[in-house]
Structure 1
């Protein structure tokens, strides 16, 4: 699986906006934003942002389609 790419973040006051290819993916507030900024120092920023936005779960679409909750 290729490494995540295309993520960036912007700090606005006490919130952090995470963008994926220039489009807002999520916004973190308060303690979650502070935790994110602290974890940037020790972890891979691209992978961390992918995990927080849920964009790291590629490859499970077929399994999700067969899940009983997704049966129409």
Structure 2
């Protein structure tokens, strides 16, 4: 996994997720919501998260699910 996270960004734990009562999953990056998963996608995501016990692997799963959402033009508040 060291080849995947060369800059060690996932060590900082930037991703988080929250499961809603209708089993939809909200994935956030540094406090901002970036992705919503519903239905089969949410079930698949939750199964993958529950199957891993390593926090860095959980971060990697969330990073892969959110895709390439950062383009370099985001504003800093």
Within 5 Å, give how 1:24-63 maps onto structure 2.
24-43=33-52, 44-55=57-68
After the TM superposition, list the runs of 4 or more consecutive aligned residues in structure 1 that deviate by more than 4 angstroms.
Answer: none
Q: For 1:23-66, what per-residue CA distance to the aligned partner results, in whole angstroms no more than 9, with x for missing partners?
A: 001000001001100001234210000001114xxxxxxxxxxx
| Aligned alpha-carbon RMSD (Å) | 2.0
Counterpart residue number, 1:15: 24
Whether the 8 Å contact between 1:17 and 1:24 is mirrored in structure 2 is: yes
Q: Could you list the runs of 5+ residues in structure 2 that have no partner in the other structure?
A: 1-5, 69-77
Q: TM-score, normalised by structure 2?
A: 0.65
Larger radius of gyration: 1
- Give 5+ residue unaligned stretches, structure 1: 56-72
Aligned length: 57
In the alignment, the residues of structure 1 paired with residue 23 and residue 50 of structure 2 have an alpha-carbon distance, to the nearest angstrom, of: 18
TM-score (norm 1): 0.69
